[in-house]
Amino acid sequence: MISYHRVSTIIEALMVLQTLKPLNEFYPDFEDWFINKVMPSFYKNNTAIFLAKIDNSIIGVSIAKQGGIGKLSCIKVDPEWRHQGIGQKLINMALKFIGHDKPLCTVPEELINDFSVILINRYGFVIDRVEKGLYRSNKIEYCFNSFGHNMQNQTLYGEI
């Protein structure tokens, strides 16, 4: 049976990093971002990490930040467990923490087909910016709900 919970300890938060390491493919220096941005914000309780687990195995993660327009910083579900509502549950937990239903969120070009249906159709997110080279040179990042958010000369994940 799948269990869901909010990470409550720094040790557990650091264990999540192992699950998220493959995201370094899409976000260079992802591990550095996690350690130096997510963890301090997590410690201050401005960022929450939500898990989907079976026994002791993490099968899904979402990371959300409060403040400003809020940010859905990360959503990842193990490929073997996709299309079972796990991502939706993790997004719902993140949105509840953020406190509204239209946070900033970005998706790399390689994953836009996987995420656009749920983010646009289910949650009503709006692609309002397309940035080339935001995180990786010559790669496109689709920005949802970013209207009014200054993204010039900064990386969004650098903000957490």
Residue 49 pLDDT > 50: yes
What is the domain count for the chain? Answer: 1
Q: Which tens digit of pLDDT belongs to each residue from 113-125?
A: 989 999 999 999 9
Q: What is the pTM of this model?
A: 0.90
pLDDT at 68: 82
pLDDT tens digits, residue range 74-105? Answer: 999 999 999 999 999 999 999 999 999 999 99
Instruction: Produce one character per residue of 116-152: b if its CB has 16 or more CB atoms within 10 Å, e if not.
Output: eeebeeebebebebebeebbeeeebbbbbbbeeeebe
**Which carries the bigger pLDDT value, residue 116 or residue 62?**
62
For residue 50, the enclosing domain spans 2-159
The pairing of beta strand 57-65 with beta strand 71-77: antiparallel
Asked if 93 and 105 count as a contact pair (C-beta separation under 8 A), the reply is: no
Pair 150, 123: CB distance under 8 Å: no
Q: In angstroms, rounded to a whole number, what is the distance separating the alpha carbons of residues 95 and 114? A: 19
CATH code of residue 84: 3.40.630.30
> What is the residue-wise DSSP string for 36-68?
IIIHHHHHTTSEEEEEEEETTEEEEEEEEE-ST
